[in-house]
Chain A
Amino acid sequence: MDTSESYRVKLEAFQGPLDLLLFLIKKKKIDIHDIPISSITKDYLNYLDQKEKINLEREAEFLLIAALLIYIKSQMLLPRETVPEDDIEDPRNILVDRLLDYQKIKAAGSLLREKENEALQKWQRTFLPPRDTEEELELTEISLFDLAEAFFTLMKKKERDNMRAIKGQEVTHEEKMKEMLDYLEKNSSLDFIEYFNQQETIAEAFVSFFCLLELIKARIVVAIQESLFHTIKVWLRKESPS
């Protein structure tokens, strides 16, 4: 965390407006439950002013919180009708609750970071397929064309087999993707031909195929052919250490 005294910290250094607010509050050494809203609002707006232009895509959230600050300030300035003391809710509470929640998340994140550091120093044996060391690569990762070809051959065959075309419930892309990943998680690999043979309708097979392509593109899975004319296997790609 950057708590340096220089006040010219750029907005980019913060993980969003709440982070910036926490930083300002900390710098002033004030209690989060009792924020002097007018001076914090001023500090906050000063920060925004340092930017010549606000990139709306990225910094809209900063403006949102600025608006909230000004709103709270106005609420506190407005005279109120006399209501019994306890009934008046401090307008700052909306903000305080959010800040407290956010602070917790940040603290939890730093604890998780420690765990991450520790866990990253413990190694487990990695998995099949082996990491590709160029010389001894026996399994070949197949190209998308091979995959497409295999798929279309399979589908042609299916057509002949008179695949049932009952219009029924539609499978969505997301469901299928989830189903595939679950399957891979459980069985560690998936047999391409077998899997597509199990698909009930052509539409479902197509959806699965597109899912597979997307998973390969996102480098979540890897498709491998053990040797020529062999079945194609799909593996979950684990984070390789490289």
Chain B
Amino acid sequence: MKDSFTQSMDWLHTWAGLVFGWLLFAIFLTGTLTVFDKEITYWMQPELHGVRPSPVNLQAAGDQLARLAPRAEEWWIELPHFRTPEVTISWQNPGEKDQGQRKLDPGTGEILTVRDTRGGDFFYRFHYQLHLERLGTWIVGAAALVMLVTLIAGIVIHRRIFKDFFTFRPEASYHRSWLDAHNATGVLLLPFHFVITFTGLVIFWMIYVPGGVDALYGGAFEEMLVEVEERLDRQRADVPAPLNSLAALERQARTHWNGGTTEWVQVKHPGDVHALVDVMRRADDRLALISDRVTFDGTTGEVLKVWKGEKPAFLTYSVLIGLHYLWFDHLTIRWLYFLMGLTGSATIATGLLLWLIKRKEQHAENHKTHRIVEILNVAVIAGLPVAIAGFFWGNRLWPWDLPERATWEMRTFFLLWILCGVHGLLRRDSLRAWKEQLTVAALLFVLLPLLNLMTTSSHIFVTLPAGNWRLASVDLVCFITGTLLFGIAWRTVKASRSLPQAISTPMTEAGHG
């Protein structure tokens, strides 16, 4: 494209990075939050904080399901775990589009009334589909692909990659310190960036590049999945028969595994003589994301199949997606992922800022494109933290019995984000826009523990003395984040006083009418 391969890659890195940078920043940041999605969900449901952890009472759960969904086609029981202390039962009634769901106390099986919230699942769904269903999955996939390309292009243009890592020149020309920050964070975590982006794509291979399925299965995905997982199913007999003891079947299933705990119990055609019970193992002690499964005849309790997913390509695939999903439970690694995700978000953010700062340094006149980039930078990099903090505030403030409460929490997030966009548009002085939005984000985060104190009894002065670190960490991380954001906002103020004129001068009317 250009005179040399390196120059072409330089061009590609710059422009692909810019066009997809804002989207990638949002995907990376929400992905980072998803690392602790279950902790966030737990924090957002204070009604569950009093649930006493206990081994699951499957008999009680089964009885609740029989009472609530006697004619369902399928029942699911999600067993409790130290990250999720309650039991979740769900069911699919024939002809209904949505599944029914209830949360139960693990020991007694009584139904728990919990405020309606998406919890950490909100960030998870934003991260991989932007809450736009299939279209969103495609957009995120395209962004991930471009991220991979940008990473490789970045490697090509930075030949002296290790020297770059050890260079930081804050006293050099203004944009050079941003360049160094971008390089250092990018190079330091290059393996992580590559792995997380690649594995993210691999997860949805069936949506993105289903060539193999089209060729060998005529496009029948379900058929392939059934073959890979050796799933069993059979038609209803329409002959009623009592279901075997779920507790006994679950105990029996565990004997087929090397230790390990159960995550799911699934019942197909409950109450029918052709019922099937699948007991699935929790994949929290291995890298490969495989839920070993034992399938029982639901009436007689006979073992019909034991599946372990041991074929090589499937294992490889499972390890790859396991590296991304991180169901492997190891607290230090989880925190490392969190910190690496934040650093990756910083790499993307510094890249976006660098693009603009370099061009403002080099061009005296103001371009319309610069103004658009400027607004998007503030709205996304500063605005997204505001929206995230607002989401947590909404969780504590929206009334408990508000209809569509979960949707209102989501609306709070998106509304705040749009407001930040509007604010960025209206504020001519971009440094002031940065300062104001960062300060708002900082305030919302720093005051969140205080809001928690005023609205629940799971606040820091209760959880810390009780040693409940899972809950206390959310408050603490928010507080620390707020302080850091205050620090950055303050530096923005300082910078506006000492920056070269070209960069700190607000875009005037002359530039864009």
**A, B: real partners:** no
Residues of B within 8 A of A (CB): none
